[in-house]
A and B are shown apart, each in its own frame.
Chain A
Amino acid sequence: MKKFAFITVIAALLLLASCNVDSEHGIYYQVNTSQPSSGINIIQSLGCYKYEDTVYHVFLSDNGICVTTAAKGDTETAEATKGRNIRGAFFAFDSAQPDTSVLYFIDSEGRAYKFDPSAEEITRIIDTETFNGLTSNGYLFNNITVRLLPTLDSETGINLTSMPLSSRSAALFMDGSNTAQIFKGSISSPLEVTGFKAKATGFAAALGASTYFVFDEKNVYEVSDTDAALGESTLLCSGLEAAPTGGYKAVHYYDETAAAAYLLVRTSKGFTKINKDGEVIEKNVQFLSSLNDVVVLDMYTIEDSSKIAIVTYANGIRIADMEAKTVSDDIL
C-alpha cells in the first residue's frame, strides 16, 4: 500500500516536471473548436458569388474546381475539371448572371485553358505560350508577360466587360528579390511599387476607392492607384509581425458597417484590426482566436455584408461576421 502510494507520488512529480507547456490555446478550447476534416484539400481560393439569396464559394481543390454553399457536405466538383492536374485557376464570375461565368485554369505544364461550366467545354487559350501561374484575380503570368484575362476575353469576342471587376483589377506579385509589384488593368508591363523591397505577405484592394493595402513582414502600406499618384505609398501602420505560416492573404479590407471600414491583418499574434488611418483598434481579435493556428489562404468579403470568408489551407472555409463578432464552423 505504502509502496503504491510512493510510486504514484514519484510518477506524478516526474510528470509535473514535464507538463503545462505554454501553448497558444487551452487544451479543452482546442478540442472544443476542432473540426472534422472534409477530405477536400483547398489549393486556391477563387472567391464567392451570390445567386438567388445563396452564397456560393468557389475554390480549386486537388480534385478539380469546386463550388460549395454554407450547407455542410454541399460541395460539387466540376466534372470536366476532375483529374486535370490544375495548378492555378481564376473564376470570372458575374454575380448577376453566374450561369454565364467562365473558369480559366492552367495545368501542370503551364498550358492555359478556358472552361465554360454551362457547356462543360474546355478550350485551350494562347496556344503559343505557357505560364508560370494564374492568380485568383485573373492574372496569367510567365517570365515575360502578364495578361489580365478579362482583357484577353474582349480580344476573343467574349463580352465580360460588365463583370464587377473593381475589386479584382490588381494583383500582387513578388519577384525573385521579393519586391512587391502591382499590375493594374490591361497593362502589359509591370509597375513596380515604390519603396517595397521586403517580402510582401498580403495585399488588399479598397472597394470603391483607388487604394491598395500591402502588408510586408512588419508594416502596412497604403498604395495609391490614381493616375496622378500611381504606386505612391505611405506607411499606414508599423510594428506588426507577419505570422510565419500566414499564407498569401495576410491583409483584408472590409466594410464592417456602412460607415466604418477596417483592415484585418493576420499577424503572429492572431488577427489585428486597424482602421483606415492605421490606428490599431484591437490586437488578437478575440472572437477570431480559434483561427490563430491556421494558415490563411484567402479572405474575402461576402457580398453586401459585414461577413468575411476566411479560407484556411487544406480544408476549411469559415465565415466571420465582423459586426456580430462570431465565427462559424468550417462550412465544408
Chain B
Amino acid sequence: MRKHLLFVLLILLLAALPAFSAEYYYEKGDTAFTFSVGVDIPFFQGFINNEAKGVEFGVNGTHTYIGGYGALSYESFVTRNLAVGGEIGYAFNNSFAMKILTTIPMTAKLSWYPVQTGKFDLILHANAGITVIRYDNNRFLAPHIKLSVNPVYYITESWGLGLDAGLWANYEHYGSSASGSKSTESAFGVFAPLTLSLIYRH
C-alpha cells in the first residue's frame, strides 16, 4: 500500500513541474463524459471513539474483501484547466460473512488538468458529496469524499482510455445520544478504487 501512495505522490510531483506541462488543449465550455469500472480495495476502517478497535487496515483488518467499483460522471470546463460536474458511483464489497456492503456516492466533482497535450491528459479529481451505505438491510446516509489521479491517453480526438487510482472515504457518525452505545461505532470507511476509465470529450 505504501508503494501505491508513493506512486501517487510521484505523479502529483511530476504534474506540478512546469517542464512536464504543455500548452492548454481545452477551451472553457468543453465537456467530458467518463465511465469508470474496476476494483474497490479495502484500505482501512477507523473507529474514532473506540480505542479497542481503533484503526484496522486491509482485508483482514476491515473484514471486507476486494470488490468492484463503477462510476459515471459529466463535467464542463469552467477555465482552460479546471472542470466541474457531478458523479454517481457504485461500490460493492463482500464482508467476511459474505454479505454485500454497498456504497452509492453522489458527488460534485472538481477536476484539474495540469497536463493536457491533446493526446495525453493527467487529471486530478476531487469529489465531495453524500453516499448511501447499505449492509444487511441497514442503510446510512453519510458524507463522502474522493481524491484520485487519472492519466488518460486519447485514441481518437474524442475518445480516451485512462487509469484512475485514488481513495474514497465515508464517515458514519453516531452522536452520544444515539441508541445504546453506538457512538463508539462511529467510523470512517476508506477504500482505494482502481478503475479503467473511458472518456468522451467534446
Interface residues, chain A, with chain B CB atoms under 8 Å away: 1, 4-5, 8, 11-12, 15-16, 18-37, 269-270, 284, 286-287, 289
Q: B132 at interface (Cβ–Cβ under 8 A)?
A: yes
| A20 and B187 within 8 A (CB) | no
| A21 and B138 within 8 A (CB) | yes
Q: B186 at interface (Cβ–Cβ under 8 A)?
A: yes
| CB of A332 to closest CB in B, whole Å | 13
The docked-state distance in angstroms from the alpha carbon of A114 to that of B186 is 52
| A37 and B180 within 8 A (CB) | no
Interface residues, chain B, with chain A CB atoms under 8 Å away: 31, 45, 47, 52-53, 56, 62-64, 74, 76, 85-86, 88, 95-99, 101, 104, 106, 108, 129-130, 132-136, 138-141, 172, 174, 179-182, 184-189
| CB of B54 to closest CB in A, whole Å | 11
List residues of chain A with CB within 8 A of the CB of B97.
34-37
Please report whether the interface of chain B is mostly helix, strand, loop or mixed according to DSSP.
strand
List residues of chain A with CB within 8 A of the CB of B138.
21, 23, 27, 30
Instruction: Please name the residue on chain B nearest to A36 by beta carbon.
Output: B96
Q: A22-B179, A25-B182 are in contact. Are A8 and B136 (CB under 8 A)?
A: no
Q: A27-B133, A34-B63 are in contact. Are A16 and B180 (CB under 8 A)?
A: no
| A287 and B52 within 8 A (CB) | yes
List residues of chain A with CB within 8 A of the CB of B63.
31-35
List residues of chain B with CB within 8 A of the CB of A28.
45, 47, 172, 185, 187-189
Residue from the set B31, B106, B180 with the largest chain A CB neighbour count within 10 Å = B180
| B187 and A4 within 8 A (CB) | no
List residues of chain B with CB within 8 A of the CB of A25.
182, 185
Residue from the list A8, A270, A284 in contact with B88, Cβ < 8 A: A8
Residue from the set B88, B138, B172 with the largest chain A CB neighbour count within 10 Å = B138
Residue from the list A11, A19, A32, A37 in contact with B106, Cβ < 8 A: A11
| CB of A278 to closest CB in B, whole Å | 23
